């Protein structure tokens, strides 16, 4: 891991870390720029704010507020002009740093070996080659290869996305408008293989940054098993996936022999599909790398589920989680906090806690609290208005999460699932 620190003639300290998967530039502990192996900027810390750049050149700003709590957080997407100015500024800074490193007055303060300075300079050249014109070319290619990637779970934001499906098979949840603009489509095996080929070519060396594979879109695992298994086999043919039950020294040896590898395959699944999979089906997928599925529980309250346009009963989630776990696959259940506003608040908490406590969750599983965010294309606001329901304030939503957490009872708290917050406004791919 070559790390070299330079001091310029003006006393500025520039540290460059040229890892196998990414290059990071740190300047005077005030600025950080992170790039993939192709030289594409993917995140930055500037002026006390965090930024994420998407592969379509959208930029998301994240800033923590003056006090803890959801109401103080800043999560906003920069407008097109502002995003372009941000990218231009970041690139101009790198040009400035590169010029400073070429100044004879700049000296190497510390490095690990004699070849490190040359390695980091090569990494910097890759960054300089990826100017705004190149990023715009990448954006155009990205939009050909992918339909919009609207959402991923927080632990999968840096996954390599492969779209086995496009859109959502249900597409009628009142609170969701992510897929209203497209028809549901399942790729044929040949289509999927071509998609994988195009994805590999697009990412190039930048694929090293991606540690997992996410099988998209909304609920790709509803594909019939006989059609789904060849898609998993195609992934395993093209990529090295952690073998099942391989741990410790054996896993480290396996990884050492495969510098580019993935920890597993992850995907969404709904609880109401008529194409229900059995524990045996999930076990077959586990042998092919499936590690975790994400289930939109939303609520344990049957009445609220109907209000939200979800056709399943709470008991369907219990059966689904049981089958997934019996097949050796982990789960993440997503609770939609704030759903149903004031009218449903109490029963939402009570029945959701009861359902969570009925699930066989363990340390490898996750529980996500996801604040209901009214999507512009959704029907949720109109439903609330028609039913004369007051939405919960952000403070009431935080209290709802506190009540649910307090009610959770796990068989073994030392091996309990992780509970975390999931803000859909934080996502950009």
Average model confidence (pLDDT) across the chain: 92
pLDDT score recorded for residue 281: 97
Whether residue 285 contacts residue 227, with contact meaning beta carbons closer than 8 Å, is answered with no
The yes-or-no verdict on residue 68 having pLDDT over 70 is no
Domain that holds residue 120: 3-138
pLDDT score recorded for residue 343: 97
103-112: buried (b, 16+ CB within 10 Å) or exposed (e) per residue? eeebeeeebe
Least Cα distance to 176 among 165, 185, 163, 167 occurs for 167
Judgement on whether residues 228 and 327 belong to the same structural domain of the protein: yes
- Kindly give, in sequence order, each residue whose CB lies less than 8 Å from that of residue 398, ignoring residues fewer than 6 positions away: 69, 70
pLDDT score recorded for residue 131: 96
Judgement on whether residues 292 and 386 belong to the same structural domain of the protein: yes
Judgement on whether residues 150 and 231 belong to the same structural domain of the protein: yes
pLDDT tens by residue, 163-201? 999 988 777 787 877 888 788 899 999 999 999 999 999
Give the model's confidence band at 422: pLDDT under 50 very low, under 70 low, under 90 confident, else very high.
very high
Q: Can you tell me which residue has the tokens 């993917």?
A: 42
> Measured between alpha carbons, how far is 67 from 210 in angstroms, rounded to an integer?
33
pLDDT score recorded for residue 134: 97
* Last residue of one domain, picked from the residues 109, 138, 167: 138
Domain count, the chain: 2
Give the other-Cβ count within 10 Å of 178's Cβ: 20
What's 285's domain CATH number?
3.80.30.20
Gyration radius from the chain CA atoms: 23
In SS3 terms, 237-292 reads as HHCCECCCCCCHHHHHHHHHCCCCCECCEEEEECCCCCCCCCHHHHHHHHHCCEEE
pLDDT score recorded for residue 127: 96
* Last residue of one domain, picked from the residues 78, 107, 138: 138
pLDDT tens by residue, 15-57? 999 998 999 999 998 999 999 999 999 999 998 899 999 999 9
Judgement on whether residues 12 and 104 belong to the same structural domain of the protein: yes
pLDDT tens by residue, 325-358? 999 999 999 999 999 999 999 999 999 999 999 9
pLDDT score recorded for residue 256: 94
Whether residue 176 contacts residue 375, with contact meaning beta carbons closer than 8 Å, is answered with yes
Judgement on whether residues 212 and 361 belong to the same structural domain of the protein: yes
Judgement on whether residues 125 and 158 belong to the same structural domain of the protein: no
pLDDT score recorded for residue 413: 81
pLDDT tens by residue, 96-153? 999 999 899 999 888 766 668 788 888 999 999 999 999 999 999 999 999 999 999 9
Whether residue 211 contacts residue 264, with contact meaning beta carbons closer than 8 Å, is answered with no
Whether residue 192 contacts residue 234, with contact meaning beta carbons closer than 8 Å, is answered with yes
* Last residue of one domain, picked from the residues 138, 161, 196: 138
% of the chain residues with pLDDT over 90: 77
- Kindly give, in sequence order, each residue whose CB lies less than 8 Å from that of residue 283, ignoring residues fewer than 6 positions away: 326, 327, 328
Least confident of 198-202, 212-216, 222-226, 269-273: 269-273
Judgement on whether residues 323 and 400 belong to the same structural domain of the protein: yes
Question: Taking residues 354-374, what's their average pLDDT?
Answer: 95
Least Cα distance to 175 among 356, 369, 382 occurs for 382
> Measured between alpha carbons, how far is 390 from 107 in angstroms, rounded to an integer?
63
Judgement on whether residues 239 and 361 belong to the same structural domain of the protein: yes
pLDDT score recorded for residue 274: 55
> Measured between alpha carbons, how far is 316 from 21 in angstroms, rounded to an integer?
41
Q: Could you tell me which residues are beta bridge partners of residue 51? A: 44, 61
């Amino acid at each position: 891991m070559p790390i070299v620190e330079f001091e310029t003639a003006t006393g500025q300290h520039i540290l460059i870390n040229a890892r196998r998967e990414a290059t990071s530039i740190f300047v005077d502990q005030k600025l950080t720029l992170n790039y993939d192996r192709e030289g594409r900027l993917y995140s930055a810390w500037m002026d006390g704010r965090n930024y994420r750049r998407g592969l379509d050149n959208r930029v998301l700003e994240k800033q923590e507020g003056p006090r803890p709590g959801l109401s103080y957080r800043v999560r906003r997407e920069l407008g097109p002009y502002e995003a372009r100015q941000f990218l231009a500024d970041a690139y101009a800074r790198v040009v400035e740093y590169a010029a400073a490193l070429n100044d004879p007055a700049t000296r190497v303060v510390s490095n690990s070996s004699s070849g490190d300075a040359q390695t980091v300079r090569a990494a910097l050249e890759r960054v300089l080659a990826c100017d705004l014109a190149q990023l715009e070319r990448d954006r155009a290619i990205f939009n050909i290869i992918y339909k919009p990637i609207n959402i991923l779970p927080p632990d999968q934001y840096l996954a390599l996305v492969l779209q086995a499906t496009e859109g959502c098979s249900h597409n009628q949840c009142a609170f969701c408008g992510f897929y209203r603009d497209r028809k549901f489509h399942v790729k044929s095996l040949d289509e999927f293989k071509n998609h994988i080929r195009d994805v590999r070519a697009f990412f190039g060396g930048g694929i090293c940054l991606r540690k997992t594979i996410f099988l998209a879109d909304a609920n790709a695992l509803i594909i019939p098993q006989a059609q789904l298994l060849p898609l998993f086999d195609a992934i395993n043919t093209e990529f090295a996936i952690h073998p099942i039950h391989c741990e410790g020294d054996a896993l480290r040896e396996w990884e050492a022999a495969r510098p580019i590898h993935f920890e597993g395959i992850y995907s969404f699944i709904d609880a109401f599909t008529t194409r229900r999979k059995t524990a045996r089906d999930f076990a077959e997928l586990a042998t092919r790398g499936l590690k975790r599925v994400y289930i939109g529980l939303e609520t344990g309250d049957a009445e609220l589920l109907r209000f939200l346009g979800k056709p399943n009963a709470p008991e369907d989630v219990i059966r689904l989680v049981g089958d997934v776990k019996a097949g050796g696959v982990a789960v993440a259940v997503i609770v939609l906090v704030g759903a149903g506003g004031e009218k449903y608040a109490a029963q939402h908490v009570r029945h959701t806690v009861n359902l969570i406590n009925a699930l066989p969750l363990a340390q490898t599983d996750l529980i996500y609290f996801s604040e209901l965010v009214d999507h512009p294309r959704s029907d949720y606001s109109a439903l609330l208005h028609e039913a004369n329901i007051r939405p919960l304030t952000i403070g009431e939503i935080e209290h709802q999460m506190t009540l649910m957490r307090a009610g959770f009872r796990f068989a073994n708290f030392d091996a309990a699932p992780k509970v975390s917050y999931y803000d859909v406004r934080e996502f950009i791919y």
